Amino acid sequence: MNQPKPAPHKLPDDHVQLLEQIDAVVAKYEAKPSNLIMILHAAQGIYGYLPYVVQKFIADKMHLSVSEVSGVVTFYSFFSTKPKGKHTILVCMGTACYVRGGKKLLDGIQKHLHVDVDETTEDGKFTLNKARCIGACGLAPAMMIDDTVYKAVNPNKLESILSKY
């Protein structure tokens, strides 16, 4: 017995417009596989993150498999498959920062914001990440919020730092 095919999922108009912008980027880079990382960077800038629907769209436009695109997305830490918060907190876990209290700092942020590493707060305000090194070893323990570096941070300073955002 032939069953009717389900209607294709219709994306909201604003998503369609974003995919049209991504399509223009793919065309600009001539859909060359060697340009995949640049295309993904641009797509993340347009869409905000790289969910499956965006990865599949790019894969189709570039005549690649979704697994090829997904492999690149999941390999590089600067790509995200989940929405990011308005502000990104990056806690340094390099040797100097770790030894000087980086783990306590990370634990303090998690407790204060009620969020785990690589997660976004319920209100969408912060995404918490950790890094091997942010190049601020002399300022340890250090963290960044967006592009601002905070030096010699301890859990007691967190509330005053986070309240600025």
Helix (H) / strand (E) element for 120: namely: strand 119-120
Report the pLDDT value the prediction gives residue 139, as an integer from 0 to 100: 93
- pLDDT given at position 12: 62
Q: Is the pLDDT of residue 86 over 50?
A: yes
- Computed over every residue of the chain, the mean pLDDT equals 91
Six-digit token pair at 65? 């498999």
Q: Which of 102, 114, 88, 109 is nearest to 139 (CA)?
A: 102
Q: Which residue has the higher pLDDT, 77 or 2?
A: 77
Q: What is the pLDDT of residues 4-44, one digit of tens each?
A: 444 445 556 678 899 999 999 999 999 999 999 999 999 99
pTM: 0.67
Give the pLDDT confidence of 44-84 residue by residue, as tens digits: 999 989 999 999 999 999 999 999 999 999 998 789 998 88
CATH class of 87-162: alpha beta
Domain boundaries, the chain: 13-75, 87-162
Nearest to 159 by CA among 150, 64, 148: 150
pLDDT, residue 4, reads 45
90: β partners: 129, 144
Is pLDDT larger for residue 3 or for residue 146?
A: 146
